[in-house]
Each structure stands twice: as C-alpha cells, then as structure tokens.
Amino acid sequence: MVLGLGWVILSAEKILIVDDEEPIRDVLAGLLEAGGFDCVKAANGAEAIERIEHNSFALVLSDILMPVMDGLALLDRVRQRQPDLPVVMVTAMHDISAAIGALRAGAYDYLLKPFDRDQLYFSVRRALEHRRLVLENRNYQEGLQRLVNERTSQLSETLRQLEQSYDYTLEAFGGALDLKDAETEGHCQRVTCYTILMARAMGVGPAQLRHIARGAFLHDIGKVGIPDHVLRKAGPLSEEETRLMRRHPEIGYQALRNIPFLQPAADIVLTHQEHYDGRGYPKGLRGEEIPLGARIFAVADALDAMISDRPYRKAMPLETAREEIRRAAGTQFDPKVVEVFLSFPEQTWRQYRQSPAGAFRLADFEKAAFRESSSVSSPCVSGS
C-alpha cells in the first residue's frame, strides 16, 4: 500500500496510540489502519504500560496531558524498559513547551493538534525508519561481536595447538639431551615434575607455571655445547673441564633467549646453578635476585641428583637427601622453597622417582596439573 509522500508500507507494524480522548484515539487509529498499520489503543499511561508488557510495538503515539499517568511519565517508563522503542508525543499548540521538554527527555518527535494525514504519516515514517536503523545497527554490532568472539576462540585454539607443537619440539630436545648424557636419562621429566609440584604448592599461577615448567625441562639444554669427553667423563673433572661444564647455563640461555615464547624459560636456564647465598654461577646472584622458578628448580634438581645412581656413586636414601636439602636452606637453597619441599611426605617423591615414564609430559602437563579433581599428591600425572 502507498501512503502520502510516496511511502510504501511493506508490513503491518503495530503502533500503540495513547490518549485520554476516545475520538482522537479513534481518528489516529483509523488513519493509521488505512495505511496498513495494526493499532492498539490505551486511555492513559498506565494502560499503555500494560499493553507494552503483553505486545511488541514498533512505535508509541502518546498525548502529554492525561490522567492516572501522563505522557512524560509514560515516556520515562518506556525509555527504561525499551530504549529502542520510539515515542512520538501528540500535543496541542498551546502545549508546545511541554513537547519540547518531552524531546529533551528522549521522545523521538512530536505532532501538533490538529494534524492532517500527511503530517501524521511523515512523522510515523521517520520514527519507524529511525527504529529500523537502530535495530539494524544493533544486529550488526551483535553479529560483529559474535564474529569477533568466534575468531578469538579460533585464534586461541590455534595458539594452543601452536604452543603444544612447541612443547613437542621441546620434548624432542630433551630426548636428544638424554641420548648425549645417558647417565641422566629421564632427569628432565623428573625434575620438571618435582618443580611443578612445589611451584603449585607455593601458589604459582598457570601462566608463570608454564614458563617455570619449560625452564626446568630445558635447564641442561646448554650441555649440547659441551664436548662429549667432558660430559661423559666418569671421574672428577679437571679445572679446565669444570670451567667448560660451567658454561652450559650461558650456552643454553643464548640458544633460547631470542625465541619469544621461551624468554622467561631462558632466564631459568641461565640461573639454575645460582645459590641463594650468592656462591653459585654464572652471575653470582643472591636471594630473590634469582628468579623464583630457578630457586624452586634448584631443590628439585638437587633431590633428583642425590637419589639417582651415578657411575661414580650410588643413590642416597631419600631420608638423607631430605636432610641435606634441609641443611643447605639459606645457603644453596631458598629457605621458603625448602620449607615447601619438606611439607610433602617422602612417599610423594618416591612415587615419581619410581615411575618417571608416565609422570610427566611437557605438552600435556597443564591439563593434568589444574584438573580440579586431582589431589595434591598427583599433580604431574598426565593420564597419557
């Protein structure tokens, strides 16, 4: 149907007409229904609110001066409940100041009585077009937000898979190191598991824990730059051989520091031989100058070294290793880390020492480490 001013009505949109004078309600409804609209009538603002609660309207045409609830009170309620529902105020010429006040309060437009058909259609058209644009913009924004959320989710999954690929690569590095230094086979997995266990007990969050785990796993990666005759020597090292061996933290750091996702881990690799009292190497760092991950790792590393067989000595009993670590608190080790270490029962350390093969996988540790149902004594079991 074509209205005045060349406007084509494509669908019967529902309009609420609010006026305390029944003849005016009927005139407005008749004109709009002739134009193809579906009209509902109310005698005051209170009736209008009731209609709005039970119907979906595209537009409200409301008088200003009405009993029970006037047009301004109705406008305020509509703005609160349905801010996208346009309200056009209908008023007499002598109430023009009230109409302007209504515009300031959020009305879309106003009509002056008496009005003709074209004036009515023109105002209704503008209000409905405004509503259409507002709704289209909202739908566009919501669609855009959904798209952003989907793309963000896809990107997060891609990054997760990429990090997992990185970790598989790191596992391969660890395997290569085991082949080079056969006497410490499984050492990387065990000390990383011990480190995760203590770090979690100290309240380390997931993001930092990831870096600490990688640093622990790669702590000896610099040994790939140490000559085999030094690395595999069964007896004591000479002064020159000791000097060469002590280069491995810096060699490892140089290998990792330019890899963005391994930069925090590289700091642990560099400092994993530092002592709490400043007598370690390569920098002679002291106390909290040493990264937390390296301080935790130092205890894990010493534990595994003492309770593992070496060509030149047999493994110590776990009780002896615990006492040695307790004794070195404040000198070689951070006392707070030692306190956490000693808080675990000996059976915890035996469990992971005796079954290292299934105790830890770098690529999957987060899934296991943060599983809500896992107990404190099984944080490193991956289930794989």
Q: Indicate whether 189 and 290 sit together in one domain.
A: yes
pLDDT of residue 304: 92
Q: Indicate whether 122 and 266 sit together in one domain.
A: no
Amino acid, single-letter form, for residue 294: A
Q: Indicate whether 242 and 339 sit together in one domain.
A: yes
Q: Indicate whether 105 and 254 sit together in one domain.
A: no
Q: Which residues contact 40 (CB under 8 A, 6 or more apart)?
A: 14, 15, 16, 17, 51, 55, 57
> 149 in a domain, yes or no?
no
> 152 in a domain, yes or no?
no
Range of the domain at 70: 4-140
Q: Indicate whether 185 and 320 sit together in one domain.
A: yes
- Domain final residue pick, 109, 140, 171: 140
Strand partners, 16: 40, 60
Q: Indicate whether 354 and 239 sit together in one domain.
A: yes
Alpha-carbon distance values, 124 to 22, 32, 138, 313, 367 (Å): 20, 9, 21, 95, 59
> 163 in a domain, yes or no?
no
CATH label of the domain that carries residue 18: 3.40.50.2300
> 42 in a domain, yes or no?
yes
CA geometry: angle at 109 spanning 106 and 112, to 5°? 130
- Domain final residue pick, 115, 140, 165: 140
Q: Indicate whether 336 and 198 sit together in one domain.
A: yes
pLDDT tens for the chain, 384 residues long, are 444 444 444 457 899 999 999 999 999 999 999 888 999 999 999 999 999 998 899 999 999 889 999 989 999 999 998 988 999 988 876 667 777 888 888 899 888 888 778 888 988 989 999 889 988 888 898 889 998 999 988 888 888 788 777 777 777 776 667 666 655 567 888 898 899 999 999 999 988 998 999 999 899 889 888 888 888 787 788 999 999 999 999 999 998 998 888 899 999 999 999 999 999 999 999 999 999 999 999 999 999 999 987 766 788 999 999 999 999 999 999 999 999 999 999 998 988 777 654 444 555 554 544 443 344 444 453 333
- Domain final residue pick, 113, 140, 167: 140
> 213 in a domain, yes or no?
yes
Residues 293 and 308: their CA atoms lie apart, in Å, by 22
Q: Indicate whether 112 and 227 sit together in one domain.
A: no
pLDDT of residue 355: 62
Q: Indicate whether 187 and 329 sit together in one domain.
A: yes
CATH label of the domain that carries residue 310: 1.10.3210.10
> 220 in a domain, yes or no?
yes
pLDDT of residue 93: 64
> 19 in a domain, yes or no?
yes
Instruction: Provide the token pair at 283.
Output: 């920098």
Q: Indicate whether 131 and 211 sit together in one domain.
A: no
Q: Which long-range contacts (CB under 8 A, 24 or more apart) does 335-342 make?
A: 335/276, 336/202, 337/198, 337/202, 337/295, 337/296, 337/298, 337/299, 338/299, 340/198, 340/201, 340/202, 341/198, 341/299, 341/303
> 175 in a domain, yes or no?
no
Question: How many C-alpha atoms does 327 have within 13 Å on its Cβ side?
Answer: 8
Q: What is the pTM of this model?
A: 0.58
Domains in the chain, number: 2
Q: Indicate whether 8 and 128 sit together in one domain.
A: yes
Residues 75 and 219: their CA atoms lie apart, in Å, by 69
Residues 193 and 187: their CA atoms lie apart, in Å, by 10
Q: Indicate whether 34 and 124 sit together in one domain.
A: yes
Whether residue 99 contacts residue 91, with contact meaning beta carbons closer than 8 Å, is answered with yes
